[in-house]
Structure 1
Amino acid sequence: MSSPAGETSDKPANGQLNTSLKRDIASVEDYEIRVGPGWTLNDGTYNHIPQGKRRKRDIPIPSYVDQAHQAMFGLTSLQLAHNAPITPCAMDIATEHLWRCLPEEVQNLVEVVPPNGPDLWSADRPAIDDNKDDAAKKLLGKKKDDRDNMFEKIFTGLQERTYKYHSELKKKPWAIWPIWVEDKFGSDWLTIVWYSEETVASSGIYDRLRMYEVYDPRRAMEASDNGRCEAIDLRKRRIMTQFIDVLAFGGINTRSASRCPAMMAPMARGEHTSGERCFAAVKEMLNCILENYIDGRPFNPKEDVLPSLPRWVNPYQARIEMTGINAWVLMSAFDYNGRIVVECLEPEMKANIVVDGARRTIKPYALAGPLNGPQIADADYCTEPLVGEAAKQEPQPKKNPKDQKKGRT
């Protein structure tokens, strides 16, 4: 499938993620489907029409062109390699699907905020302060048909109050927000979870922030005095400060807010699986809200706490689930006039990709990840030693058979 003429690309450049998600689709007439070379395994479910004999009515047109483009790019990016960074398109499609699969009672309790970053979470604080209005406009990268209205300002007389999406955040007590952060510690997906209350009882406007936490899978590269690779408090504190400013900019009362320390499964050295862990964190938090508050029991900030997530996550299983969601959404965007297929490449064809700044070649079963799952974190959510699959695969020095016979070591 190809993009309409004049459309900008969302593909990462120089290892960076383009999070603007710019879409400028005039109509379905601009949509084009190209068929590339390859082999198709036909089981007789449908009659194959040669490319030279296809008519215009034989070409499926998506009912939701913009969503089809998002899911298409998300699916393509997820298929490149098992450890390539998760793109905002793939994260948006996958996390929104998790929310849509919840019971309506839970959907009314929690908002899964569309992913964004890295501008709003930069360590360059003066740059954000100098362009605070622009930073607020970059708050959320929602879909094209909603963007114009979402960032329209609300006025009371001549006084500007807030952006429309801030009012959306005030409609539900719970919110979960995946964010992409780039700083000296690395480029990672983090998850912000918060709970708000009504300032005026029974108003349905949750404009008073009570409790929040930032879930970060990355651990410090250097061990602390106790020999453990612990969470990066410096990064967490910076993100929390900027998060509070973002909500306060939208008229949300943050004066009585408190942080609730919580942890998630750590990401080992040599891994770049924060996106998969972020998706797993969103799923786990939604299930937690489902289990604890679906019966109407209110969250009590004085007694309840935000949960620490499981100490073990298999990022490759999460990536496969995200791939399936993006594929299914893409298929449904065509009114199910499409099928999920396996593309058969020519034998011995090398599929080169770039992951973590290095060129790699996809190997058989690479997309499914290692056969052995990651280790379980210790009780303090650190691992000892904090080593990933990349470090485990370093070649070990070979022992001399003659030394073994002589009993040497």
Structure 2
Amino acid sequence: MNSTLSPVAERFMRYVQVDTQSDPQSSAHPSTEKQKHLSALLAGELNAMGIEAETDVYGYVYATIPSNSAKQVPVICFCSHVDTAPDCSGTHVKPILYPAYDGGDIILPDDPKQVIRPADYPYLLQHTGKPVITASGLTLLGADDKSGVAIIMQLAQYLVTHPEIIHGDIKILFTPDEEVGKGTAMLDMQKLGADFGYTLDGGELGTFEDETFSADGVEIRIQGVIAHPGYAKGKLVNAMKIAGKILAALPSEEWAPEVTEGRQGFVHPVRIEGAAEQAELEFIIRDFDTKMLAVHEERLKNIAAKVLAEYPNAGMTFTVTEQYRNMKEVLDNFPQVSAYAMEAYTRAGLTVTKEPIRGGTDGSRLSFMGLPCPNIFTGMQAIHSRHEWIGVHDMEKAVEVLTELVQVWEERS
């Protein structure tokens, strides 16, 4: 590790080496015990700074930076998640620092077939001459969301060592299992005790997100008819074949994530499992307009029912589960939360780029749990993949934005 590297980058490079991958098939909280290793490390570092912090049995970290203001200031929370995505290995992450990126292709040394090209990631060119961090080619990097973790930790260190920065009470929250949709499942909101929040889980420098997808999950369970295959004529109804026909009946030129963008919603099969007698299909349903979820679900149900009509002896159940809702529905009632953030961006010399998230964050759930919570950039790029990378400058500017933001809240109180 380079001794001249900025403190936030040094933190980041340490944190990504702790394996915290979550498990979507686990019913435990957290879904993997190894997430607690980073939680314990973070709580220990905060306590060493003189900030009261604790981690619980579920892997959450709660901490408080006390107010040094004479005013009554709303309590602000900064939140990031410790887990990394199950899409790509997070074991034995080896972060590589390029102190001054030269503008060319980056060949990852542990698998030279993995090349991060500016042609594929044009934003990389904005970091020419600046430090960039990648993984080694065999794993993801973990910038999602250990960049957010490092930024919040660096903010904490800065505020402790710069008491001239006047602010109200600040809560720090690190969550497990965000990547598997359980980031707030065991969260103690009373213990957190915040009025408003911000997740640090965004991408390019200057981006600010106060709108997410609304999301449901759907399970289609198909009940076939089993029979000995040697004597199955006129009897056997294979549930797996029915499942395959349902998938084949889905539109391929629209309504799918691979052909949609912007504000277009989609229906996406994410898991198929079963045998001849019974099979299950799982889907995620996404749209920025919550009312459209029911429209998408009815369309999917009709597609499945049309296939099932060809098999009168088969059965089907169609189960919808609410996952999260568009945070904008809450944030529109608290315009100051976004307005103060955008003022902080401006003070830090940034132009704000507002864009909707084609996904969700802990902030989606937190907003509906009583903590209005938009999302601030960290710089993370090519997330959930071996090509994941981050520019150190972006993390440094995020720390600056948070420093300005706590002062804006204090000044406006």
Is TM more than 0.5 here? no
Question: Which structure exhibits the higher relative contact order, with contacts defined as CA atoms closer than 8 Å and separated by 6 or more residues?
Answer: 2
Give me the TM-score of the superposition, normalised by structure 1. Answer: 0.27
| TM-score (normalizing by structure 2) | 0.27
Higher strand share: 2
